[in-house]
Structures are given as C-alpha cells and as structure tokens.
A and B are shown apart, each in its own frame.
Chain A
Amino acid sequence: MSKIKKISNLLDKKVIKKLKPGEEILFSGKFYTARDQAHQKIKEIIKQEKKLPFNPEGKVVYYCGPTDTPLGKSIGSCGPTTSSRMDLFIEPLLKRGLLAMVGKGRRSPAAKALIKKYGAVYFLAPSGCGAMLSQFVLSKKLICFPELGPEAIYQLKVENFPLIVGVDSAGRSIYK
C-alpha cells in the first residue's frame, strides 16, 4: 500500500500529466456526480446559452448515482456507472476546464482523443463495489437538478478514494 500515490484536491494538469494507465492512486478531495440526465441537461443549458448551475472548471466528475443515504450515514452505496454512455457529452465540459472523470469501463476513440486534446484524465473506480466505496465518502451535498433524484449533481467529499488511471492525458488506455 505504501507505494500508492496519494493525490489531493490539488489535482492539476501538471499532476495529471505524470499519471500513467494502470497506475493506482488514492484521491482526496471533491467529486461531482453526474450521469446521463445531468449531462443531457448541461448540454441543453449550454445550447441555450444560459448560465450553468455547475462550473466544470478544475472539477472531477464522478459517473455515479448513489442509493438513498441511510440514516446516520454520510452516503449509501456509491460505485461507478458505465462511462461510455457519457462519451458524447464530454467535450463541452472539457472545454470549460473539467480536469478528470471517474467511472467504469472503456471510452470511445473519440472520447480518448478529447481527453488527450484537453490534457484531462479518466479514472476507473472499483466497479460493483459501491458498499466498499461508501467508506471513503465523508459527505454528500446536493448541487443542482434535485428533480433527477439519484441522477442529480451531488458534491461528494472523499478521502483516500481508490482509483486507477483508465485513460491518461496522452489518450492511452489501460484497455486494449
């Protein structure tokens, strides 16, 4: 465990540039959950040139729709969902400074090219391990789109959340 790189909120393009596919890190900082419907809404808002309720600049988006939060806990089960469903929506976010995405599975060639173009990174979270991952989340706060229920954008404060680099800033993937 001692060899694992710990990355804090200070994640920036310089730190990202050093990450390689397959590398394991423990992340401490903030995630912003967003899935299909939140991405769709963001796309619409941008299209209509309205103000975004969520500024992607410098942020980490987590493709996750947690369960309800059990009484006395900071969050319920909260593992990653399939990232490829969001592939078509990532450019406007990357263009506005999104640093990283967290999810599970492969990305499309186009998505990988965009990750490279904007010097971003895509992390994998242990998939199907939502109960285990709930232990690394300190708090969950609603940011916007409450009508989406579990698909709303929530800010999660996380500590030592295990991640693996899925696509690095050069667009190289852990998967063939």
Chain B
Amino acid sequence: MNKKQKELREKIKKLVKEANFSLRVDLKKLISDAFSRETKKMPRQALGWILDNAETAKKNKVALCQDTGLPIVFIEAGRKQEIDSSLINTIKKEVSRGYKDNYLRRSIVDPLLRRKPKYQGVISHLQFLPKVKGIRITLFPKGFGSENKTQLKMFNPTANINQIEDFIVDAVKKAGPESCPPFFVGVGIGGTSDQALFLAKKALINRVDLVNPDKYLNTLEKRILKKINKLKIGPMGFGGKFTALAVKIKKCPTHIAGLPVGVNISCHALRSASTVIKL
C-alpha cells in the first residue's frame, strides 16, 4: 500500500467516526439556539434530550442514532486528480469496514429478498468540479425514518412560486413527528427528476446555518422555513416554535416543458463529515 492510499484509508476511518459520533457544529449551534428560545415545556425538553444525546454520543463513542443509515459518499474531484474505479471501491470498502469496526448498524439488505442485513452497499456519487482543490469526500449516512418521507413533484413550467412553497411545506407536514423533527429540509429545483432529488440531498451536506449566496433562494429559504414553523409539529412532535431549523435550496437549469422539485428531509441528527485528499 502506498503512502497516499494509506492516507485515504485513515481519512475515511475518521469520517465514519466523525459523521456517526459527533453532531455537526452548525447543527449544534442551531439546536442550542432553539433550546434557549423555546418556552413550551415539552418541546424544550425534547431539544434538551437532543443536546444530551450529542454529548453522550461523543463521550461514549456511541452512534448518535441507532439508524446509522445507508451511507452515501459524495466524491467531488477537482482538476488534475488521478481518479479511477479503484478509488471509489477503496472508499466504499473502507466505509463498510469503518461501520463494522465502530459497532455501527448493519442496515443494508437486498431490496426484494431482505435477508441478513450487511454493512456493504455504500452508494457513491462522483462529480467533477473545477472549483474543488483535490478530491473532496463527504460521507452522508442517511437514516430512513426521514428518507422515507422524500417527495418529488414534476410541476408544470407555469406553476407559481406559491405552489412550489406549498408542496415543500406539505412534504414536511406529511413527514410528521415520526421523522424526528426539528428537521433540516433539503430542496432541489430544476434539472431532471433524478437531478432534483440529488440536489435536494446535496443541499444538506454543507453548513446549513449560512446565508445562501443566491439572494432569491435565500429569501425563499427563509419564507419556507417560516411557513414550516407555523405547522407547529415541533421537536419530537411536541409542538412549539421549531418544526424545522433550516431549509436549504439548490437549483439548476431545467427543460422548457418542466419544473421538477425534490424534497429531502433530514431528522435533527443530520449526519455528514467531509475531508479533502490530493491524488
């Protein structure tokens, strides 16, 4: 094994631990802020449990959630990087091994036979992005309590923004108490059906507490978040001010005949961790 491969393996090992054992810093900030602003007893207690849980997970090296998800790996490669299928295979293998070594859950099965859950079956997405320096690898373990609430709608191109907003708010309403609110809502608008859902997920891998550089999307995110919080589902479904803590939207060009909108909901334990390597 050469030095670079060794480095890659070490970094993947760290990603598995970081993603599953530590609550993301941006999330902790938003949840703590909600905890200090919530005045109703039960939702406040639920937010307190969530913060307690993060402490215990980190201290005891126990997964934040028993659903350690279907691990998704986003690989974003910049210019002049040596990349082939062996890199992706190594990443997938190391993630599965990391899951086993850290006593995480075997949650992956054949979709129809449903026998013996395994660690193997990591999903990867590869993109070439000239802006990235080196290769950025993000591990995103997606729990299915929230993944099951994913929504896609192919709007007519003449649909207005209110209809799109209502669709997103309704997706959150349908997700309800069982998908572990307060949520982080990822939205993908445009492209094709698959692209819209891909963007909805990708919208959640970066910090969710930052202002969207696209002014229009920033306003839209804020407006939708406000509408979602009027649903009063609240932490664990106990009501209060915070049904979601962030809405993040990504868009890309689409066809003149269509307007796909994908909604990917994440529970309060939105897990991801990133690293950069140079090959």
Contacts and interface: CB of A to CB of B under 8 A. Distances in A.
Chain B CB within 10 A, most for which of A78, A126, A135, A151 = A126
A128 interface: yes
Contacts of B116: 147-149
A64 B145 CA distance: 12
Interface in A56-78: 64-71, 73, 76-78
A143 B104 CA distance: 21
Contacts of A175: 176-177, 237
A169 interface: no
B34 interface: no
B60 interface: yes
DSSP class of B's interface residues: helix, strand, loop or mixed? Answer: loop
Contacts, number: 140
Interface stretch (B49-57, B82-90, B240-248): B49-57
Interface residues of A, number: 41
24 contacts: A37-B114, A64-B66, A65-B66, A67-B68, A76-B62, A77-B64, A77-B65, A81-B145, A82-B145, A82-B178, A126-B46, A126-B236, A127-B145, A128-B53, A128-B267, A129-B52, A130-B65, A132-B53, A134-B56, A147-B115, A148-B117, A150-B106, A174-B237, A175-B177
A148 B60 CA distance: 26
Interface string A150-176: 110000000000101000000000110
Interface in B91-128: 100, 102-107, 114-117
A167 B145 CA distance: 20
A132 B52 contact: yes
A71 B103 CA distance: 9
A106 interface: yes
B14 interface: no
B176 A128 contact: no
A73 B105 CA distance: 15
B115 A127 contact: no
A73 B267 CA distance: 26
Nearest to A78: B66
B180 A127 contact: yes
A131 B60 contact: yes
A83 interface: yes
A79 interface: yes
